[in-house]
Structure 1
Amino acid sequence: MDLTSYAELAVLLVNGELPDENGLREELTSVFALADAGKHEEAVELLNALLARHPVHPHISAHDGQGWHLHLAEGGLVMGLAAVVTDLGVDRLGVCRAARCANVFVDTSSNRSRRYCSERCASRANVAAYRARRRNAP
């Protein structure tokens, strides 16, 4: 079972791309913000509280031509983030550095270098930095 895909669902929820059926968006946003600010112990404490309040309810499913596999109902998003934190580190949860963007992301890069939520934000930031350098050049 790939729990990282559940962590990516948490990212989609926080970024407003999924409905907030369980009222998790605000607290998951806080987990990412605390992790991004280097407050790792506080992020883990909040994640532990969420794990306690949203237990995982696994069930077996077969769909879309796939064989039998596990799905995590209810607390799957929280469990996915917990798995990322324990496998990769709490510093892998981040908030986009692009101006006017507050989206979150899970950094699964090999060198821990991700700073933007998407290629689009990275490109915009790079173009803005280039234009600023050109304006300030003698």
Structure 2
Amino acid sequence: MELASYSDYAVRLVNTEEPARRKDSLTSVEAVRELFGSSTQAARRAGDADVTRFRGVRARLRAVFEAADRGEQEQAVHLLNSLLLEFPVSPQISGHEYLDESGNPRWHMHLAEHPSNATAGYAAIAAMGLAFHLTEYGVDRLGLCQAAPCRNAYLDTSTNRSRRYCSDRCATRANVAAYRARKRREAEDPGADPERTGRTEDSPQRTSETAEPSTPPTPLPATGPAER
């Protein structure tokens, strides 16, 4: 497993909270354990105290993404370094669970679980994974979704560093909103020069996930908040 893949731990934890929507799914020991995924041994160590501890680590990880989103690279690195110092990792060589065609282990680096408590173990892996991703791909690859009110964290792996949304659904929702806003402006001022808005019918907004539709999109359901 590539060490940068451990950065998903950070994204999963940060996205348990949606501040703009006042939603927080990290409210129980069961929610904490679900974050560990297939690592059941580490999950079993989680207790009631870890709910509060995980929330504290979550706030610090979100601060890293927020600094990166603002373009404050040095601040993002400083915040991440403080987590690395507080939650050190224990790297180990592993491979017996991955065998090649001849039955020999495919050796790779593995971040061992921290023995003290569930929060320390998860924080160490999340911080180190995020650090590997940051140094491998750049600080600007850490982002927060631009489709208001969603501010979920994401890791940009696009070839042209163009990602702005956490999912295709949010990208589509943002493009639909932009399309409707432009149509309203045109209806209010039919003689307006489209160049004043910085956009024309022939040059729609571009995103990494999806482009703005050139024909009226199908309206989203209006029965409540969109599920994501």
Query: Shorter-chain TM-score: what band?
Result: 0.7 to 0.9
SS at match of 2:154: strand
SS at match of 1:105: strand
The answer to whether 1:10 aligns with 2:10 is yes
1:26 is matched with which residue?
A: 59
Aligned residue among 74, 77, 96 for 1:41: 74
Matches within 5 A, 1:34-73: 34-59=67-92, 60=94, 66-67=98-99, 70-72=109-111, 73=113
Tell me if the contact between 2:4 and 2:130 (Cα under 8 Å) persists in the aligned partners: yes
Greater mean alpha carbon deviation, residues 122-131 or residues 53-62: 53-62
2:161 is matched with which residue?
A: 112
How well do the aligned residues superpose, as a CA RMSD in angstroms?
A: 2.1
Q: Which runs of 5+ in 2 are unaligned?
A: 17-24, 26-30, 36-49, 100-104, 114-120, 191-228
SS at match of 1:100: coil
Higher relative contact order (CA 8 A, sep 6+): 1
Tell me if the contact between 2:69 and 2:140 (Cα under 8 Å) persists in the aligned partners: yes
Higher strand share goes to which structure? 1
Of the two, which has the highest radius of gyration?
2
Identity value in percent: 53
Alpha-carbon offset, residue 3 of structure 1: 2.1
| Distance (whole Å) between structure 1 residues aligned to residue 95 and residue 63 of structure 2 | 32
2:137 is matched with which residue?
A: 88
Letter of the structure 2 residue corresponding to residue 131 of structure 1? R
Alpha-carbon offset, residue 85 of structure 1: 1.1
